[in-house]
Amino acid sequence: MVIEDITGIICQLRETAFPAIENLIKKYGADNPSKLFSADYKPFFIGNIKIKNPVISAPMAGISDNTYRIFARYFGSSLLYSEMITSYGLFYGHEKSIKMTYATEFERPFTLQLFGSKPEIIASAAQMLEEKSEIIDINMGCPVPKVVKTGSGGALLRDEDLIRQIIKKVKQTIKKPLTVKLRLGWDFNSINIEKTALIAESEGADAIAVHARTVRQGYSGNAEYSHLRDLKKKLKIPVIISGDIDNPFKAYKLLNDTNCEGIMIGRAARGNPWIFAAILIGIILLDRNLFDENGADLEKKFKKDIDYFLNNDIKVKILILYLKSLIHFMEEEKAVKEFRKILAWAFRGIRNINDIKKDFFEINNFKEAEKIMDSLIGM
Ligand SMILES: Cc1cc2nc3c(=O)[nH]c(=O)nc-3n(C[C@H](O)[C@H](O)[C@H](O)COP(=O)(O)O)c2cc1C
């Protein structure tokens, strides 16, 4: 099948989604809605790279591919990350790892995230990638046993000296800005975020992101932000907060309470790329005092308005474009398999479509997907 090029897909995405976004903003009385959505809002710098607003999409292995990133960008995410890529794989020239480093012009500024445990290997891999991204990031938080077993990811939080060596070596080797993504510590008995953050800054990291859980927690329990309240007071470099952020009210409160520069959205954006617009618009409206109600009612009302303006029919159209983009970047068969997951996430929690949901997992090609999507229009 012939799929439009990515520029065409992006044009259609804008035509489909932007009027809805503008109408949502207009409803709250803001002037010039398209400017409000696309202008800089509380920008900050990571090294010499301008990040135009605080809303950032998180790196997610198996998820944050080209399509995910392009859609996150067009809904407002100011910075995009690759999935984590093995520094060993890059160092030894493995094709699969090299393929993961590809990003289009629509994904800038773009951060390539590496994982590993050997300073020289990470530094060499980072050097190989310098021309491919605006920022290099090192993963220091992944809890997956396969990664931790090799001393990489979250395992590094148990070896502060190695963290120092890695950042120092990479910083000496590359010219591009360097960031690290940390967690609070290995476990609750060894919370060391303040120490690792200060090491990162003193060795020249240009920003940090912190997932507010321990490595041992994995993704269980709740993110615990109390450890981040005073962190920013001790650091000059930007801090990005990650963990359980899924609405503008929480994002706004966290940004204000901690003075951190950014917030990251991960799981809540799976199958739900419009969440970046909802959060960005929400925090701008909160900042401008454009909500005329308080508390829980306000949250409910805003959520209802988002669902009204970015309604089911628009979402279906956006998702078809998402599938076209997946097919642009990979073979149709693989793209359709990816898309099944996206659909299940996009329609999670929605009643009335349980019968259709099982059909999501039987889609085998674009035509079948389109047919199912058509049946979702008007639901
Ligand atoms: C499926 C999945 C894959 C992830 N992969 C990565 C990764 O490659 N690199 C990384 O730094 N964090 C990774 N994370 C962690 C997220 O970036 C984020 O910090 C975490 O999910 C908490 O944010 P959330 O509650 O918004 O999802 C991953 C998380 C999930 C759920």
Domain of 51: which CATH number?
Answer: 3.20.20.70
| 87 CB within 6 A, ligand 1 | no
The residues annotated as belonging to the active site are 142
- Assess whether pLDDT exceeds 90 at residue 85: yes
Range of the domain at 361: 312-376
| 153 CB within 6 A, ligand 1 | no
| 60 CB within 6 A, ligand 1 | yes
- pLDDT band for position 31 (50/70/90)? confident
Q: Is residue 193 located within the same domain as residue 324?
A: no
Determine the distance separating the centroid of ligand 1 and the alpha carbon of 266, expressed in angstroms: 6
> How many angstroms from the chain centroid is the CA of residue 5?
24
pLDDT at 1: 66
Nearest ligand 1 atom to alpha carbon 58: 17
Q: Is residue 128 part of a domain?
A: yes
Report the nearest-CA residue for atom 13 of ligand 1. Answer: 60
Rounded to an integer, the average pLDDT of 337-364 is 84
Instruction: Tally the domains of the chain.
Output: 2
- Assess whether pLDDT exceeds 90 at residue 354: no
Q: Is residue 279 located within the same domain as residue 319?
A: no
| 209 CB within 6 A, ligand 1 | no
Nearest ligand 1 atom to alpha carbon 246: 26
For residue 212, what are the contacts with CB-CB under 8 A and spacing of at least 6? 183, 184, 223, 224, 225, 227, 228, 241, 242, 243, 244
pLDDT at 278: 97
| Most informative mutation of 55, 56, 57, 60 for ligand 1 (most atoms within 8 A of CB) | 60
Rounded to an integer, the average pLDDT of 235-257 is 98
| 154 CB within 6 A, ligand 1 | no
Report the nearest-CA residue for atom 21 of ligand 1. Answer: 266
Determine the distance separating the centroid of ligand 1 and the alpha carbon of 104, expressed in angstroms: 22
- Assess whether pLDDT exceeds 80 at residue 3: no
Q: Is residue 352 located within the same domain as residue 217?
A: no
More confidently predicted of 57 and 359? 57
Q: Is residue 22 part of a domain?
A: no
| 244 CB within 6 A, ligand 1 | yes
Q: Is residue 285 located within the same domain as residue 316?
A: no
Determine the distance separating the centroid of ligand 1 and the alpha carbon of 83, expressed in angstroms: 9
pLDDT at 88: 98
Q: Which of 240, 259, 293 is the last residue of a domain?
A: 293
The 10s digit of each residue's pLDDT in 58-69 is 999 999 999 999
Nearest ligand 1 atom to alpha carbon 265: 26
Determine the distance separating the centroid of ligand 1 and the alpha carbon of 19, expressed in angstroms: 31
The 10s digit of each residue's pLDDT in 158-183 is 999 999 999 999 999 999 999 999 99
Q: Is residue 210 part of a domain?
A: yes
Q: Is residue 252 located within the same domain as residue 344?
A: no
Q: Is residue 124 located within the same domain as residue 254?
A: yes
- Contact between residue 109 and residue 134 where contact means Cβ atoms under 8 Å apart: yes
Q: Helix or strand or coil: residue 326?
A: helix
- pLDDT band for position 376 (50/70/90)? confident
| 198 CB within 6 A, ligand 1 | no
- Assess whether pLDDT exceeds 70 at residue 351: no
Q: Is residue 198 located within the same domain as residue 142?
A: yes
Q: Is residue 303 part of a domain?
A: no
Q: Is residue 26 part of a domain?
A: no
Q: Is residue 302 part of a domain?
A: no
Rounded to an integer, the average pLDDT of 45-57 is 98
Q: Is residue 276 located within the same domain as residue 359?
A: no
> In angstroms, how far is the first alpha carbon of the chain from the final one?
28
Average pLDDT, the chain: 95
The 10s digit of each residue's pLDDT in 252-285 is 999 999 999 999 999 999 999 999 999 999 999 9
Q: Is residue 68 located within the same domain as residue 210?
A: yes
Q: Is residue 278 located within the same domain as residue 355?
A: no
Mapping DSSP onto H, E and C, the string for 98-132 reads HHCCCCCHHHCCEEEEEECCCHHHHHHHHHHHCCC
- Assess whether pLDDT exceeds 90 at residue 355: no
The 10s digit of each residue's pLDDT in 287-328 is 998 887 767 788 899 999 999 999 999 999 999 999 999 999
Q: Which of 293, 325, 344 is the last residue of a domain?
A: 293
pLDDT at 303: 93
Nearest ligand 1 atom to alpha carbon 141: 11
pLDDT at 47: 98
| 58 CB within 6 A, ligand 1 | yes
| 247 CB within 6 A, ligand 1 | no
Q: Is residue 281 located within the same domain as residue 165?
A: yes
Q: Is residue 114 part of a domain?
A: yes
Determine the distance separating the centroid of ligand 1 and the alpha carbon of 64, expressed in angstroms: 10
Q: Which of 227, 261, 293 is the last residue of a domain?
A: 293
Q: Is residue 24 part of a domain?
A: no
Q: Is residue 289 located within the same domain as residue 366?
A: no
Mapping DSSP onto H, E and C, the string for 192-249 reads CHHHHHHHHHHCCCCEEEEEEEECCCCCCCCCCHHHHCCHHHHCCCCEEEECCCCCHH
The 10s digit of each residue's pLDDT in 90-120 is 999 999 999 999 999 999 999 999 999 999 9
Nearest ligand 1 atom to alpha carbon 213: 22
Rounded to an integer, the average pLDDT of 15-43 is 94
| 211 CB within 6 A, ligand 1 | yes
